[in-house]
């Protein structure tokens, strides 16, 4: 935040009454500047959501959310009404728990608002749908500052604008642990949903978006290291390629998903659901300069930086890039990166046993597991 500069000179000035004041004091404009003790407690209480109260907080928060053409009835009634021109609604839900998915000492409230929206609308995008509406459940400790809730709302609002959707309602409740529950809605616009089980042998595997930056950013934060801003930003505020999901559906994608748990692990879901094997080529993965810089900061030897960066691209979680499988004849736009192909299962293999290979070698998928400790 910018601060008002002290006027040049001696660093002191006279107020309207001729009294000398320091550079940081508040000028007396005829208004009492000393807050009585009995009012200080009230001011302090009113800065928390407990002091403000549930309904005042709801009013303050919902007033920040603009409506889109999809919102027939927004916040303020028993339920919202969202248009569904296609006649089918795509829905997804997700939770963010403080200490597990975000830390307030690492991320601002706006960061968390952006992230809550991004990771949920990314799932809508991955079905080939267009984001339309979102419901947010907000469970927070009573002593949470009101400004935190307001800044979270601003971040969610701004990310909705990027995605093209809108917050249409939600719920608030007191809780010992700050928890955010989000349900996202989307419209297929007349297309079939792109599922995980539609891939066949001999097809192209490709991705679009950022891979590895978020995992690098998390590692930097966890170790208290200064590193590339792109990695830190991508962890705090993921940037899903929102328009790429519907684009992939129009191109004829046979399977698709949001890369949230690591590319290897997530492609393993497509392989298992579709009954195919997936072979990736390490040379097809070109790390972004920020990722290469980050792995060096994290201690990778110069000769191993490329391998370390590729490992993060393959196994790092919370990327919210988009991975898809396309028929071999499809001409992919430039922002899609072809990284491998599907093939038939070996004779006698079961789909549940399938693993994704990199250069012909089975690798541990790593990635994110919500029930893994640490």
Sign of the four-CA dihedral 91, 270, 117, 68: negative
Q: Is 373 annotated as a binding residue?
A: no
Q: How far apart are the first and last CA of the chain?
A: 34
- Torsion, CA 222, CA 226, CA 229, CA 231, rounded to 10: -40
Measured distance CA(301)–CA(296) in Å, rounded: 7
Measured distance CA(159)–CA(117) in Å, rounded: 6
Q: Is 40 annotated as a binding residue?
A: no
Q: Is 368 annotated as a binding residue?
A: yes
Q: Is 101 annotated as a binding residue?
A: yes
Measured distance CA(341)–CA(295) in Å, rounded: 28
Q: Is 217 annotated as a binding residue?
A: no
Q: Is 279 annotated as a binding residue?
A: no
Q: Is 319 annotated as a binding residue?
A: no
Q: Is 170 annotated as a binding residue?
A: yes
Cα distances from 64 to residues 1, 59, 61, 127, 179, in angstroms, run: 21, 9, 6, 28, 20
Q: Is 93 annotated as a binding residue?
A: yes
H-helix segments, the chain? 37-46, 49-52, 54-62, 109-126, 146-163, 213-223, 229-236, 244-251, 263-274, 289-297, 305-315
Q: Is 68 annotated as a binding residue?
A: no
Q: Is 176 annotated as a binding residue?
A: no
Beta strand pairing call for 89-97 and 130-140: unpaired
Q: Is 196 annotated as a binding residue?
A: yes
Annotated binding-site members for substrate: 101, 318, 368
Annotated binding-site members for ATP: 170-171, 196, 260
Annotated binding-site members for Mg(2+): 78, 92-94, 123, 171, 258, 261
Annotated binding-site members: 78, 92-94, 101, 123, 170-171, 196, 258, 260-261, 318, 368
């Amino acid at each position: 935040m910018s601060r008002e500069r002290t006027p040049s000179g001696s660093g002191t000035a006279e107020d309207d009454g001729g009294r000398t004041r320091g550079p940081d004091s508040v000028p007396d404009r005829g208004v009492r500047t000393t807050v009585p003790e009995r009012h200080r407690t009230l001011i302090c209480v009113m800065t928390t959501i407990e002091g403000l109260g549930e309904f005042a907080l709801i009013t303050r928060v919902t007033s920040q959310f603009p409506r889109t053409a999809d919102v027939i009835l927004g916040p303020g009634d028993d339920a919202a009404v969202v248009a569904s021109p296609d006649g089918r609604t795509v829905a997804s839900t997700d939770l963010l728990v403080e200490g597990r998915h975000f830390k307030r000492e690492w991320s601002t409230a706006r960061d968390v608002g952006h992230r809550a929206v991004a990771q949920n609308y990314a799932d809508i995008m991955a079905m080939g749908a267009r984001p339309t509406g979102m419901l947010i459940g907000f469970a927070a400790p009573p002593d949470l500052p009101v400004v935190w809730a307001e800044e979270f709302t601003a971040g969610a609002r701004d990310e909705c604008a990027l995605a093209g959707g809108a917050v249409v309602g939600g719920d608030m409740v007191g809780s010992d642990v700050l928890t955010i529950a989000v349900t996202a809605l989307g419209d297929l616009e007349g297309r079939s949903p792109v599922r995980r089980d539609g891939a066949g042998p001999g097809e192209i595997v490709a991705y679009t978006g950022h891979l590895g930056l978020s995992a690098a950013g998390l590692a930097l934060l966890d170790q208290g290291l200064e590193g590339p801003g792109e990695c830190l930003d991508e962890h705090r505020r993921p940037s899903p390629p929102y328009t790429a999901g519907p684009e992939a559906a129009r191109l004829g994608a046979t399977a698709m998903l949001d890369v949230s748990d690591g590319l290897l692990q997530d492609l393993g879901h497509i392989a298992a659901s579709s009954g195919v094997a997936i072979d990736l080529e390490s040379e097809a993965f070109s790390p972004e300069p920020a990722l290469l810089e980050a792995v060096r900061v994290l201690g990778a030897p110069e000769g191993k930086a490329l391998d370390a960066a590729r490992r993060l691209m393959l196994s790092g979680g919370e990327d919210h890039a988009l991975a898809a499988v396309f028929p071999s004849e499809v001409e992919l736009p430039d922002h899609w990166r072809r990284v491998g192909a599907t093939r038939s299962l070996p004779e006698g293999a079961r789909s549940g046993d399938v693993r994704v290979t990199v250069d012909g070698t089975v690798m541990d998928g790593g990635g994110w597991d919500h029930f893994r400790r640490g």
